[in-house]
Structure 1
Amino acid sequence: MRGIVVFGYLAALVSPLLAVKPEDFKTCSQAAFCNRGRALSARAAASKSPWISPYSINPTSLVFSPSKSSFTAAVKSSLYPEIKFELQVDILRDGVARVRMDQVDGLRKRYDEAASWALLKEPALKEEGQIVWTDQGKTGMKAVYDDVELITLIRSGREEVVLNGRGLLHMEHFRTKTRANHSQEPTPENAWFEGEEEHGFWEETFKSWTDSKPKGPESLSLDIDFPNHPHVYGIPEHAAPLSLPSTTGPDPAYSEPYRLWNLDVYEYESSSSMALYGAIPVLHAHSTKSTVAVFNALASETWVDIHHPTPDKSTATHWIAESGILDLFILPGPTPDAIFEQYARFTGPTALPAHWSLGHHQCRWNYISSDDVRTVSRRFDEEEMPLDVIWLDIEYSQEHKYFIWGQSFPDPVQMANDVAAIGRKMVVIVDPHLKRTSNYPVYAEAQERGLLVKKSDGGEFEGWCWSGSSAWVDFFNPGSWTWWTKLFSLVDDPSAGWRWKDSTDTMFIWNDMNEPSVFNGPEITMVKDNTHYGGWEHRDVHNVNGMLYHNATTNAVMTRTGSPRRPFVLSRSFFAGSQRIGAIWTGDNMGTWEHMAVGIPMTLSVGIAGLTYAGSDVGGFFGNPDVEMLVRWYQVGAFAPFFRAHAHIDTKRREPYLYDDPHKSIMRDILRLRYSLLPVWYTAFREASVRGIPVLRPQYVVFPKDSRGFALDQQYYLGASGLLVKPVTTQGATETEVYLSDDQVYYDYFDSQIYRGGSKSVTVPAPLEKVPLLIRGGSIVPTRARPRRSSPLMKKDPFTLKIALDKTGFAARGELYLDDGETYAHQQGELIWRQFIASKAEKKKVLAIRSVDLVSRAGGEGAVDGITLSAYDRENAFARDIADVTVERIVVLGLESRPKSVKLENGKELQWTFNEGSSAKGKKSGAASLLTIKTRDVYIVEDWSIAVEL
């Protein structure tokens, strides 16, 4: 959320009529280093003769490791021959290449720790050598050492990733102001830009702020090209299409490069390359032949230009960062799933969330009292609408002193316990700015311990945010980590100092404003020459700052009771590696159709960059959406990993129970649909937590060889469930077009209407009460159909299996993963992981439906998809706890004919009904045939088999 700074003071309210002011944020030309980098690119492109990079390698300096998995080499620049650089190339697991370059024996050290925060651990070299010096006929890595230093990934003779192919590599070395130590002064012939000294090397001004640069220039530029990949995705966060449009070249979609610089941009534009709240410097490139990716580990301000030298064939990118070393990972793929797994292996997969956190969250700025909170909870019950979490924004706190409850919340512990009585949780905001007053114990302790961010002169940094005059904890200081953890502790410890006693283990945390947002700072953030622990300037670490805060809070919540439990902490700011920590949302959007629509590719984009637990504020944070828009937005939210309704303090109350029918009933049905599909969501998150494959899968991920789907970003698949959703984001729409890539049968989730695919679009009815949702043939979807007030109350509810037969009429598969949803007992084998299979029995016209234990099939003991199991027991404690949970119903779509019998494997007849309709293997459309089996003595934890004789 955001406010307005007026003459240094905080305005009380934000008018919903306001929108982002682009002039408050820099363009590339206003950032000196970006201007220099772009000028270099323009000069190279305009050169009458081929542009020659001044950087080159002396081949005689090459030194290989004994395993031939890495090498180092000396790099020199013809601009400044006396400045030395070193290049190192390592080949890691899966053939991932890590390329590093840094200045040798410089005046000072460059920031080189961005990767250490992003990486799960320091990756080891591949044991066998993987560097292949190759010609165009082979697969491997190539380096050219004549006039241009070039690292290229080649596959089957095809160049896939090319570093410095256009010669735009440039690392500004450290220097003194006089540059008297250089033997060669730049001349118009060898300088890359004119007016070098005057171009913001030592300070620059933006509006009223002057940024001192005591280290001088230290930017890093590099061209990274994909000669055979026409689509690129990633580098979030931007309100832009999933397949990123061009920023240079003929007729660019955006005139500015994509900027990575975490900023508080409230009411952001719905189509822009402007920087937003998070930054993940990961870019995927895709074609019908392969997928590749790069992770450019930079924590400083970074701009990325994109253009397509050959339309529909190639992509060229130019990265310009303010500081840091070159530390680049090349991920070879060659498929989208392989990229996700490679990236997850070194930055970590998403954390498996608490099950309840996948339910419905209700928030606004602000629920005004503890009685208001109780009323909201009660009203959801009265209207039979499921809800798992009620949120409190900043007004719960006394004078915006976080952790300190205001007078309107006299009984916070009892309030939380009342909400928790039916399985619900609360989330309370804790922002990173601390009110600078001696009677605020959190600030007083942080100051006393020397844990606050410093100004360039060593004094305490003061800025303005919701608390008024504020200070910020320096989470780069290891001393802050233990101290912050103890603030949240629910265990008495006299030596720990002040702690948040007015809390419970059902109260979780929301970290907002952690870019950080500083109302009176340049671009509404912290000045760049502030200093952090270790002497690093804020400019070096800015994009990592919010992730460290998020991580500290998550660790605190996880360990607050002394017995670790899965935490939930929502963050607005993020970086590569944030997926290990928790959820994020797309920030302060507006209640418009355009913002509703762009929230989908924004969520998909952070997902393919590793951060799959994400969503947008339902209804829009600003504005008062009409009821049609709100209904459609609930449909969008119900199919996002993080599902939260949120609203600004100026907006009208819009809880779904406040509306009249039919709209109230429609929203109730949407909420119930989300809850019925929680088994699907949780199973998809399990896969994301061990393989890194996103929960929401864009069309190109599921069908990587169908070019017609590469730019689609308004429809997507939910995990591996076979569910395809295309939310309606257009006012007044009553139908929509859904693209079906494969030659397969698809079924409408609600009325079983059959659609037949094959690289074509079909028209799906979409009246207001219906979200277009299809099941791909060959899928089995586990659901829980009984409506409950919250997800913990569903723990022992029976299951319904929905079997969508494929076009043969005899095949389908699906998975179900379950654990206790709160602890880490699953890591010791306390889980259920089953596969459901429908297949044709041999020599008979029989459809066999089976349930099998996937863990046992995967080998029992040992590591199963990243879960360490010691002597896995199918009858583990969790399995015993839900031993009486049944599969109460099986629904089969698309059978060819009416069954003769339906029996369990022991011969027991089952009750069933059959509705005639179209078969999966036929050519007719219309509603599918429907077999409904009422099962008895079929338990979710057991192996079983059912025979449907036709």
Structure 2
Amino acid sequence: MKPLGLPLIFLLAVGVLGVDRNNFKTCDQSGFCKRLRPFKPEKSQYTLNLDTVIVHGNVLSAEVTTANTEAEKKVPLWKYSLTLSALVDGTFRIQVDEADPIYPRYRTQLALDGEPKADGLQLVSKEGGKVTLTNTQGHKVLITAEPLKFEFLDQNGDVAVVINENSQLLIEPLRLKREKNDEDEENAENAVEVEEEGTWGENFKSHHDSKPRGNEAVSLDVSFPDADQIYGIPEHTDKFALRTTTSGEPYRLYNLDVFEYELDSRMAIYGAVPVLYAHGSKRTVGVFWHNSAETWVDVVNYADGTVVSSLVNLVTGGHKRRVDARFISESGIVDVFVMLGNKPADVFRQYTKLTGVTPLPPKFSLAYHQSRWNYVDEADVRGVDENFDVHDIPADVIWLDIEYTDRKKYFTWDSEKFRHPAEMVANLTAKGRRLVVIIDPHIKREAGYFLHEDATEQGLYVKDKDGNIYEGWCWPGSSSYLDFFNPAASKYYSERYRFENFPGTSKDVHIWNDMNEPSVFNGPEITMPKDCRHYKPPQDGQDGLASYWEHRHIHNEYGLWQIRATNEGMLERADHKYRPFILTRSTFAGTQRYAAVWTGDNAAEWGFLQASVPMCLSLAAAGVSFCGSDVGGFFKYPEPELMTRWYQAGAYQAFFRAHSHIETKRREPWLYEPSTTALLRDAVRRRYALLDFWYTLFYEHTLDGTPVTRPYFQEYPNEEETYTIDDQYLLGDKLLVRPVLEAGAKSVKVYLPGRDTNTLWYDVDSYQMHKANGYFNQEVNIAKIPVYQRGGSVVPRRERVRRSSTLMANDPFTLVVALDANNTAQGSLYIDDGETYEYKNNKYIYAKISYEPKQMTYTLVNPSAQFSSRAWIERIVIAGIRAAPRTARLHHGGRSTALQMTLHRGNDVLVIRKPGAPVSEDWSIQFAE
């Protein structure tokens, strides 16, 4: 059957019958990209007026003008306001806007986590046509007045980032539309003839974009001296290290619903996070392009052998370590943050200081999730739930897709198939499990549907270009879309999550926001027309074009506004007591503050399993650590080997959910042959054994803002071989994961980093020790993927199998101590109630664990904690021990107890059995030879 019996045109549009590239624009079909990409002047047309430079507090302000020489009499003199701000932690911000625009240009509103904190800024000199400034940390900024250029110097005085070195700064000034018979001389200078092609409208396929404000694009080039590689700007299916784009399409950032998206592509898909990181052996730096409009990004890496880079290298006499990038956006202002690192962890932290960290998620959300489009009724949900118990597979969450609703009307239930939702939820929660249900932004236009009636009456919908309610087509058929930029719409939507407004839900029902790019099946590029209108707060004297924002201005931000409103509703429904879990598909800067992300509608093919690793690495570097892919693939059916390898990989990704399309064959773990089911069970159990490790990583992410899932070069920044590795990664700084991503693999290449630091790595299954020495071949069988623990680390585990994570709360711990070359190790453990915000009231346990040859200590970081746990330490495994101690004694609470030890000489592992140490108090173990 075809989903929902939709007309063929809509099935083609959304890709149910296969993705069609013709539905999505190339740069040449995107008017502003085609217009601005060839813009490569020899000299920038922008000049800093040195007489206007003022430095006050942390801000330099000045006037910038376009060139207006005798040879350029026809070019009007445009004035722009420039501010350069010094921010804490080695970050600077440049903003350039029209000094006196005809109407305000849009400034992205929601990406930043509050107003960035100021640092000091000192004017050092203003002479020789240059301005020199410094912040409190010793970074310098050199501004050349003509042509305008910004150079950012690191603390060693070396140039780290250059803005506008390639003279591609461009701000298209807003102008008035003038008809041929317009005789208004006052507006003549700022007017553009209506015949100018593409200025006031452009077409794509059968769609017309009216462009009432005309051309308003912005462009900026950024250069990274001494950089070897550049990363970021998710979401794409390309490699983690970005490649030169001069011979093809730029990377596109425009949130789109692309069913069964292509691999190895720079095409836009669901996410658009405009942050770039450049890394080399000297430093790591970054830039965050604060803009929510459609954006294209060109990259030139001078070391990758392209025609352009080869010519440059020839001229410069050899290999040039440098990467250039360029942002081109359809609208907005120039607003760019420069993050001066200097190590990878520093610059990742600088970015999350701007856009926020992932708040500590509820613990269950880090466990295993089971989903399908769709579990058809309550009996189906009950059967799936029970089969996890029958087959002894842990699970924490069952998911319901759009078919649970009353004919695609959100905040309702199908009265036949889901007649007793509260009872269904209670049956799950009795086992410690939860339910997630989907809420999409499209609202069914049906008379009598309360949400549609209210939104129409209260004016809460997005408007079309003529100011009428916009109507598009999505899963319910004819649909309209809430305008979350309207505070009244966000408030109304948030209130729908109250328990009394969404009967059948409880604190254990969580939310999935899908299709929120937004997806519009009959819209241009399967999304909302750019000339739709969004709410703008009314201001005196502003009417017409100044009284609303167009969708073109805010497109990549739309989903972020929805999940923010969802988050607020989830918090308010229980008086801000419980942590919500939200999953989103649309992704922008700041998404991590509200929701987890998955990589969208993938397929059961090895290529999509392979792509999931760099995609989640890229998102994690861009702040979104809570990332995963649909395990098994959304489309098609995974044969047993692929399904096994995907479960094994998913068990080591932050978001671990199996999901599948409505037309695919059912593939719950027990529906495979018993031998495959056993392998899937083992993969899920491995995840549950490490849940506290994951939970601790996410807690520590809230403290330092660095990714949970890490590229090798974050921890080994001087090891050049690591710069392009994206088929293996680190979890924190303790575990190394190399998923098996190829069919029929008998061995895989594993890179063990840390040669220069004499790092040791231990196989987590056998405790076999390997010295870091780059690549080696690791034999694998169908039951194993290579995972290693770094020497010098301690990893907490829980080995007992339960139905769900909730039932494991008081289970004992095993501490796995992997020794480094100095016979030492460090680790940590975080514990709280797993679901409330009481940890903010010091109701949690956070302990540091340290091992040295003569003692092991467990010390509470917060000794005054008002939280205790009945969990205890039942086993300590010490790998890499050369000489076993003669005795070991536990010291706790003024008592000393002798401990039993067993030395396994075959792999140099010492096991301390049942030390009985508590997790709520300090303790130590003393060793004697």
TM over 0.5: yes
Partner residue of 1:304 out of 280, 292, 297: 297
3-state SS of paired residue (1:639): coil
Unaligned runs of 5+ residues in structure 2 are: 126-130, 180-184, 305-319, 537-547
Matching residue of 1:518: 520
Partner residue of 1:725 out of 737, 741, 744: 737
3-state SS of paired residue (1:88): strand
Matching residue of 1:435: 444
1-side partners of 2:928 and 2:921: how far apart? 23
CA contact (8 A) 1:780 1:813 kept: yes
3-state SS of paired residue (1:122): coil
Matching residue of 1:921: none
2-side partners of 1:520 and 1:128: how far apart? 51
Displacement of 1:259 in angstroms is 0.4
- Output one character per residue of 1:377-410: Cα deviation in whole Å (capped at 9) or x when no partner: 0000011100000000011112111122112111
3-state SS of paired residue (1:908): strand
3-state SS of paired residue (2:28): helix
- Output one character per residue of 1:788-835: Cα deviation in whole Å (capped at 9) or x when no partner: 100000000000000111122x20010001111111111111110001
Displacement of 1:757 in angstroms is 0.9
Matching residue of 1:322: 330
Partner residue of 1:474 out of 483, 491, 514: 483
Partner residue of 1:89 out of 84, 109, 125: 84
2-side partners of 1:360 and 1:509: how far apart? 16
3-state SS of paired residue (2:271): coil
Displacement of 1:298 in angstroms is 0.5
RMSD in angstroms over aligned alpha carbons? 2.2
Matching residue of 1:741: 753
1-side partners of 2:45 and 2:800: how far apart? 68
| Aligned-partner residue type, residue 393 of structure 2 | M
Partner residue of 2:66 out of 76, 91, 97: 76
Compared with structure 1, are the counterparts of its residues 662 and 408 closer, same or farther at alpha carbon in structure 2 (3 Å cutoff)?
same
Displacement of 1:105 in angstroms is 1.4
1-side partners of 2:282 and 2:728: how far apart? 23
Within a 5 Å distance, the mapping from 1:474-623 to structure 2 comes to 474-490=483-499, 499-534=501-536, 535-623=548-636
Matching residue of 2:102: 107
- Output one character per residue of 1:101-138: Cα deviation in whole Å (capped at 9) or x when no partner: 001112211112x1x311111124214538785599x9
| Aligned-partner residue type, residue 26 of structure 1 | K
3-state SS of paired residue (1:594): helix
Asked if 1:714 is matched to 2:727, the reply is yes
Compared with structure 1, are the counterparts of its residues 12 and 89 closer, same or farther at alpha carbon in structure 2 (3 Å cutoff)?
closer
| Aligned-partner residue type, residue 740 of structure 1 | L
Asked if 1:755 is matched to 2:762, the reply is no
The range that moved more, 234-243 or 894-903, is 894-903
Asked if 1:336 is matched to 2:348, the reply is no
CA contact (8 A) 2:124 2:133 kept: no
2-side partners of 1:336 and 1:420: how far apart? 42
Displacement of 1:942 in angstroms is 1.4
| Aligned-partner residue type, residue 92 of structure 1 | L
2-side partners of 1:272 and 1:782: how far apart? 39
Asked if 1:673 is matched to 2:699, the reply is no
Compared with structure 1, are the counterparts of its residues 8 and 613 closer, same or farther at alpha carbon in structure 2 (3 Å cutoff)?
same
Compared with structure 1, are the counterparts of its residues 662 and 909 closer, same or farther at alpha carbon in structure 2 (3 Å cutoff)?
same
CA contact (8 A) 1:277 1:573 kept: yes
Displacement of 1:5 in angstroms is 10
2-side partners of 1:130 and 1:835: how far apart? 44
CA contact (8 A) 1:68 1:130 kept: no
Partner residue of 1:412 out of 421, 432, 435: 421
| Aligned-partner residue type, residue 347 of structure 2 | I
CA contact (8 A) 2:27 2:33 kept: yes
Compared with structure 1, are the counterparts of its residues 825 and 907 closer, same or farther at alpha carbon in structure 2 (3 Å cutoff)?
closer
Asked if 1:144 is matched to 2:135, the reply is no
Displacement of 1:76 in angstroms is 2.9
Compared with structure 1, are the counterparts of its residues 528 and 135 closer, same or farther at alpha carbon in structure 2 (3 Å cutoff)?
closer
2-side partners of 1:754 and 1:661: how far apart? 33
3-state SS of paired residue (1:937): strand
TM-score, normalising length: structure 1: 0.89
Partner residue of 1:269 out of 262, 268, 282: 262
- Output one character per residue of 1:279-300: Cα deviation in whole Å (capped at 9) or x when no partner: 1111111111111111111010
Partner residue of 1:351 out of 352, 359, 362: 359
3-state SS of paired residue (2:713): helix
Matching residue of 1:866: none
Unaligned runs of 5+ residues in structure 1 are: 45-50, 187-194, 493-498, 841-846, 857-872, 918-927
| Aligned-partner residue type, residue 875 of structure 2 | R
CA contact (8 A) 1:300 1:539 kept: yes
Asked if 1:941 is matched to 2:927, the reply is no
Displacement of 1:897 in angstroms is 2.3
CA contact (8 A) 2:631 2:658 kept: yes
Partner residue of 1:853 out of 836, 840, 860: 860
Compared with structure 1, are the counterparts of its residues 580 and 649 closer, same or farther at alpha carbon in structure 2 (3 Å cutoff)?
same
Displacement of 1:210 in angstroms is 0.6
| Aligned-partner residue type, residue 94 of structure 2 | V
Compared with structure 1, are the counterparts of its residues 609 and 13 closer, same or farther at alpha carbon in structure 2 (3 Å cutoff)?
closer
| Aligned-partner residue type, residue 314 of structure 1 | R
The range that moved more, 763-772 or 160-169, is 763-772
| Aligned-partner residue type, residue 30 of structure 1 | Q
Partner residue of 1:282 out of 275, 283, 294: 275
Displacement of 1:184 in angstroms is 10
Compared with structure 1, are the counterparts of its residues 182 and 235 closer, same or farther at alpha carbon in structure 2 (3 Å cutoff)?
farther
2-side partners of 1:715 and 1:213: how far apart? 45
Compared with structure 1, are the counterparts of its residues 653 and 300 closer, same or farther at alpha carbon in structure 2 (3 Å cutoff)?
same
2-side partners of 1:451 and 1:117: how far apart? 19
2-side partners of 1:332 and 1:891: how far apart? 41
| Aligned-partner residue type, residue 372 of structure 1 | D
Matching residue of 1:228: 226
2-side partners of 1:270 and 1:119: how far apart? 31
Displacement of 1:456 in angstroms is 1.1
2-side partners of 1:613 and 1:108: how far apart? 39
Matching residue of 1:920: none
CA contact (8 A) 1:893 1:931 kept: yes
3-state SS of paired residue (1:536): strand
1-side partners of 2:124 and 2:489: how far apart? 42
| Aligned-partner residue type, residue 663 of structure 1 | T
Compared with structure 1, are the counterparts of its residues 819 and 169 closer, same or farther at alpha carbon in structure 2 (3 Å cutoff)?
same
2-side partners of 1:362 and 1:87: how far apart? 51
CA contact (8 A) 1:903 1:910 kept: yes
Displacement of 1:485 in angstroms is 1.9
Compared with structure 1, are the counterparts of its residues 310 and 13 closer, same or farther at alpha carbon in structure 2 (3 Å cutoff)?
closer
2-side partners of 1:13 and 1:573: how far apart? 18
Displacement of 1:77 in angstroms is 4.0
2-side partners of 1:644 and 1:105: how far apart? 51
Compared with structure 1, are the counterparts of its residues 272 and 120 closer, same or farther at alpha carbon in structure 2 (3 Å cutoff)?
same
Matching residue of 1:781: 795
- Output one character per residue of 1:191-250: Cα deviation in whole Å (capped at 9) or x when no partner: xxxx996441110000000100110000001111112212111111101111111111xx
CA contact (8 A) 2:563 2:594 kept: yes
Compared with structure 1, are the counterparts of its residues 261 and 735 closer, same or farther at alpha carbon in structure 2 (3 Å cutoff)?
same
Percent identity of equivalent pairs: 41
CA contact (8 A) 1:247 1:256 kept: yes
Asked if 1:366 is matched to 2:374, the reply is yes
3-state SS of paired residue (2:209): strand
2-side partners of 1:299 and 1:147: how far apart? 28
CA contact (8 A) 1:424 1:790 kept: yes
3-state SS of paired residue (1:456): coil
Displacement of 1:852 in angstroms is 0.7
Aligned length: 876
Compared with structure 1, are the counterparts of its residues 257 and 128 closer, same or farther at alpha carbon in structure 2 (3 Å cutoff)?
closer
Displacement of 1:501 in angstroms is 1.7
3-state SS of paired residue (2:365): helix
2-side partners of 1:453 and 1:15: how far apart? 25
3-state SS of paired residue (1:807): coil
3-state SS of paired residue (2:575): coil
| Aligned-partner residue type, residue 272 of structure 1 | S
1-side partners of 2:169 and 2:208: how far apart? 28
3-state SS of paired residue (1:372): helix
Asked if 1:383 is matched to 2:391, the reply is yes
Matching residue of 1:923: none
Compared with structure 1, are the counterparts of its residues 155 and 306 closer, same or farther at alpha carbon in structure 2 (3 Å cutoff)?
farther
Asked if 1:656 is matched to 2:645, the reply is no
Compared with structure 1, are the counterparts of its residues 323 and 128 closer, same or farther at alpha carbon in structure 2 (3 Å cutoff)?
closer
